[in-house]
Amino acid sequence: MTLKKSAITAAATLLLSGAALADITIGISLPLTGPASGLGIPVNNQIKLWPTSIAGEKLKVVVLDDATDPTNGVKNAKRFVTEDKADIIMGSVATPVAIPMAGVAAEANTPHLSFSPAVLPAGQDGWTFRMPQSNAVMGHAVAEHMKKQGVKTVGFLGYTDAYGESWLKDFTVEAEKVGIKVVATERFARSDTSVTAQALKLVAANPDAMLIVASGSGAAMPHKGVVERGYKGKIYQTHAAATRDLMRVGGKDVEGAFVVSGPAVIAEQLPDNHPSKKVSLEFVAQYEKAYGAGSRNQFAGHGYDAIIVMEKIVPMALKKAKPGTPEFRAALREAMETMGRTVLAHGVLNWTKADHWGYTNETGVMLKVVNGDWKVE
């Protein structure tokens, strides 16, 4: 009787262990503090609204703060793949953090879903996929809008880090295609509290427009800097600035600014035939029910889109392997590369083996700050 009871207990333990192994573990590194916290917190808010299971498998979500620090991001990523045995890792929102995280993911053969447009050297992004639109796609939208506005010359004021560098490179290419020239370039650090010297040089160059490359509430400071130094031309911001923090901190100085964004931010203003309208409206309804009217955010939208992706790829991967195994991680990557056209709140995505960005040039939407709110151009 004792032996039989012990055998039943052992069998039950094995079954429970099997059930635990079936959990799908997602490790997420976000800047919940530090300069990019205004981007990371909305993503985390959206994660709290995620379902608890997909295709009958329980989700185990581990969120760690990287404090906008690449060293912390690497530390978090290593913990995810070694201690948590994550099936997929996500993050960061900050590009300088996401890039080294990609290296950890690749070394561990673990899929990596970046919440930033992290640009990696050719051949080194085999395990990394991006939720945001690429800087090239958004740069195309900015350049095309500038062309329609009659802009011929641009001053560039952007971060000294990888995000700023990528935007300078990609936008310069897109601008040249439509006959626009970058005539002055100035840089600043995310931690800087003033851009007085840079603003004076840019204003002296007197370009037709300025492109500011910064993120969240941090995008308001350089914007105010050039306005306070007397600049009267058109000012553009990137999709990292497509949050209400720009208006909250910038106030009247950002009135009239042009900000490129994904469609999720302005769901109600999308035409009825826009492929993302339904999904965007669903995102806005869910997020603002939880966090209040007007709380929608470009980055929360990426968090919403991430679970749409997961709900599509997990059933595909489960047909080939069980969670918690190298085979399942490989199957998730294969599913991401073969899932086909997927409508998200931020556009239509179609990753392939050769393209881990997935968005087309038609994705970017140009917004204008009018009376402290977004208006589609």
pLDDT at 326: 97
Residues 98 and 155 in one domain: no
Residues 253 and 153 in one domain: yes
Judge whether 119 lies within some domain: yes
Residues 244 and 322 in one domain: no
pLDDT at 352: 96
Residues 150 and 43 in one domain: no
Residues 151 and 75 in one domain: no
pLDDT at 43: 98
Residues 122 and 187 in one domain: no
CA atoms within 13 A on the CB side of 94: 29
330 burial (CB, 10 Å; 0-12 / 13-18 / 19+) is: middle
pLDDT at 377: 85
pLDDT at 17: 39
Find the domain containing 34 and state its range.
Answer: 2-133+294-349
Residues 114 and 190 in one domain: no
Task: To the nearest 10°, report the CA torsion of 359, 362, 365, 366.
Answer: 130
Which segments in the chain show pLDDT lower than 70? 1-22
Backbone angles phi, psi at 279, to 5 degrees: -65, -40
Helices assigned H by DSSP within the chain: 2-21, 37-47, 70-82, 95-107, 135-148, 162-177, 196-205, 220-228, 245-250, 277-291, 298-318, 326-338
pLDDT at 122: 78
CA 19/CA 335 separation, integer angstroms: 23
Residues 118 and 159 in one domain: no
The residues with which 159 forms a beta bridge, in sequence order, are 188
Query: Can you read off the two tokens belonging to residue 191?
Result: 């931690």
pTM above 0.95, yes or no: no
Longest CA–CA span in the chain (Å) reads: 91
Total domains, the chain: 2
Say if CB 223 and CB 197 are below 8 A apart.
no
Query: Can you read off the two tokens belonging to residue 287?
Result: 């997020």
Judge whether 164 lies within some domain: yes
Pairing assessment for the beta strands 181-188 and 234-237 based on DSSP bridges: unpaired
Judge whether 362 lies within some domain: no
pLDDT at 123: 75
Judge whether 371 lies within some domain: no
CA 75/CA 70 separation, integer angstroms: 9
Judge whether 367 lies within some domain: no
Judge whether 361 lies within some domain: no
Residues 246 and 328 in one domain: no
pLDDT at 238: 95
CA distances from residue 212 to 118, 142, 165, 242, 261 in whole angstroms, order as listed = 18, 11, 12, 12, 14
pLDDT digits 0-9 by tens, 202-246:
999 999 999 999 988 899 999 999 999 999 999 999 999 988 889
307-312 long-range contacts, CB within 8 A, separation 24+: 307/50, 307/51, 308/279, 308/342, 308/344, 308/345, 309/113, 309/131, 309/336, 309/339, 309/342, 309/344, 309/349, 310/26, 310/54, 310/88, 311/51, 311/54, 311/55, 312/339, 312/342
Residues 253 and 317 in one domain: no
CATH code, domain with 173 = 3.40.50.2300
